[in-house]
Amino acid sequence: MLVYLAQNTPTGPEFGKASPLGLLVILILLAGTVLLVRSMNKHLKGLPETFEPEHPEPDQKADEGTEPGAIEPESGDSTPPAPKTD
């Protein structure tokens, strides 16, 4: 069957011509992409330069993204904990 399909290569006056509907679809997709990029740029311009708080409160020293043990303990003992040995 594949040999038969390979031998029947399309030829004629209509072969290789694109439909005007295809051009319309491409133009609509291009216009949608341009509108999405413009909207994204408008939203990005409204964002602040940095997301760091201007006046961090003492209780904001550790946030949700801080790894355990990454901040200093608040107690008077500033010695690091001893490593665990197994």
Q: What tens-digit pLDDT sequence spans the chain (86 residues)?
A: 667 766 766 677 766 777 888 899 999 999 999 999 999 999 999 988 887 767 666 655 555 555 566 555 566 555 666 666 76
Extract long-range pairs of 59-68: CB within 8 Å, 24+ residues apart: none
Q: Is the pTM of this model over 0.75?
A: no
pLDDT value of residue 13: 72
H helix or E strand, kind and range, residue 39: helix 20-45
Percent composition of the chain: helix, strand, coil (DSSP 3-state, to 5): 40, 0, 60
- How many other C-beta atoms lie within 10 A of the C-beta of residue 32? 10
